[in-house]
Chain A
Amino acid sequence: MGVTLSYLGVIVLLPVIALVLKGAEIGPARFWAITTAPRTLAALQLTLLAATMATIFNALYGLLMAWVLVRYEFPGKRILDALVDIPFALPTAVAGLALSALFAANGWYGAILEPMGLPVVFTIWGVAIAMSFTSIPFVIRAVQPVLEDLDPQYEQAARTLGAGRFTIFARVIFPAILPAFLVGVTLSFARSLGEFGAVVFIAGNLPMKTEIASLLAVIRLEEYDYNGAAVIALVLLLIALLLLVVSNLLQARALRYKGKTA
């Protein structure tokens, strides 16, 4: 046990403490000045907006996939189920490379989209697509087990009462999977905010336009502006911890809900 704690202390806690101490050393006034500098704000705004776009797509796609994988039988279902994990298994740099080449003007997707006036590479869409790819499994894997455990008798009861398919989903199924769904959405959003490897390949990283917050932190490091890097990292850390708390609360609620219906 002592070994466990000291390992975590050295590998995880100590570096995080170094960041927090650095932030304290900077002081609130300069912290605020760095956070509200135009380039930082633009980077944070882009990161939040693109992560929101990615999460909305993943929420809908995840719900669809979980539903299809649990409720229907079709050939290739097990393969589809396994394919869901590709984005987690594939290194993010590899994903970024593949996506940026696919959506580039001479890539398979870019060749179709660019003539239509829909450039993806070097735009916020590219950032959102990279973020979305790397966090695809979260919603699916959160909703799937809950949907599997759902007692069919409630749906059957609703059906005998004359409810249509859509009403059953909206009034019976969705409320039951909502806590798990929200956990998945939160995790997906958190991962999108922190995603780096996949994004830097496709974003073009133009300051004020397609530069994500974590990349700006790295750029500040390379300029030896340690304060600037530390402030941006701390802001991202705070958002991440906030999301961690939210997801833990939601998870606790989801467990309670499961206990009630079981």
Chain B
Amino acid sequence: MSAHADPAPAALAPRESRLVPRLLIGLALLLTAVFVVVPMAYIFHRAFAAGYAVFLTNITEPNTLHAIWLTVLTAVIVLPVNIAFGVAAAWAIARFTFPGRKALLVLIEIPFSISPIIAGICYLLLYGRNGLIGPYLLANDIQILFALPGIVMVTMFVTAPFVVREVLPLMQAQGSEQEQAALTLGASGWQIFRRVTLPNIRWALLYGAVLCGARAVGEFGGVSVVAGKIRGQTNTLPLQIELLFQDLNVTGAFAAASTLTLIALVVLVLKTLMESRR
């Protein structure tokens, strides 16, 4: 279409004033400030309200430190597993047709659509004392619930869809021509993946991984059911925040929360940067 065939909208609408757009922009900015920006700023305000020294005391309190360690450990275990799973699942769905492909897609979506609380209850009914395989675990002295394995597995459940969801659409859109070309040139499966597939999906993969990591660090509902909330042992950082809040140590809760908020802000910046790269 040539440029002069598409007249500027302004020429067609001389009646429109600038008032309505300004009102709408103003309203959008106001609501976002009230409901999104202020709550986030408030976290830092409360965390540092009593001074930097108090913040430092709160954050280095042994139970809070342990909670930070446990949260980081969980994320470090969950993230590589879900990245590997995400790429494998996306690869399988995009490149092959097999019975149950649709079912697999639905299964991947389930953790997104159900409450993490339900996930936690499911795990309890499976591995709990009266659960399906609970008695077997008890007899063999295997501890899953109220310990690291339970926390890690529920976090895996909740964060399973993130990488697949980002990588799959890209793999489907790109098709497999390049991979087939590599194959005819004699590349091995691993070579194809490393030299052809991975470079094509790297930004989507990284993006999914960032979202997955953010969620793994912040997961609350599911973990709260299976962790048992033992102070200094199975309390992740989000659970520690609730505990401090219930102990009426609100400043301590805000100090712990501010570290998670900082992570969220970093995630946000990474996400924005990556979106412009994709």
* A contact set with B: CB distance below 8 Å: 1, 3-5, 7-8, 11-16, 18-19, 21-22, 61, 64-65, 67-69, 71-72, 74, 76, 78, 80, 82-95, 97-99, 101-102, 107-108, 132-133, 136, 152, 155-156, 159-160, 165, 190, 193-197, 200-201, 214-215, 217-218, 221, 226, 229-230, 233, 236-237, 240-241, 243-244, 247
Contacts and interface: CB of A to CB of B under 8 A. Distances in A.
B261 A90 contact: yes
B123 to A, nearest CB: 5
A180 B245 CA distance: 39
A237 B104 CA distance: 18
Contact of A236 (B109, B115, B124, B217): B115
B221 A196 contact: yes
Contact of A19 (B46, B100, B108, B121): B121
Interface string B225-248: 100000000000011011001000
Given A4-B85, A196-B116, A89 B217 contact: no
A86 B268 contact: yes
Main SS of chain B's interface residues? helix
A65 to B, nearest CB: 5
Given A12-B160, A91-B260, A226-B128, A218 B85 contact: no
A154 to B, nearest CB: 12
B225 A98 contact: no
Q: How large is the interface on B (under 10, 10 to 19, 20 to 34, 35 or more residues)?
A: 35 or more
Interface string B260-278: 1100110111011000000
B264 A90 contact: yes
A8 B225 contact: no
A74 B25 CA distance: 8
Nearest to B44: A98
Interface in B1-48: 7, 9, 12-13, 16, 20-21, 24-25, 27-29, 31-32, 35-40, 42-43, 46
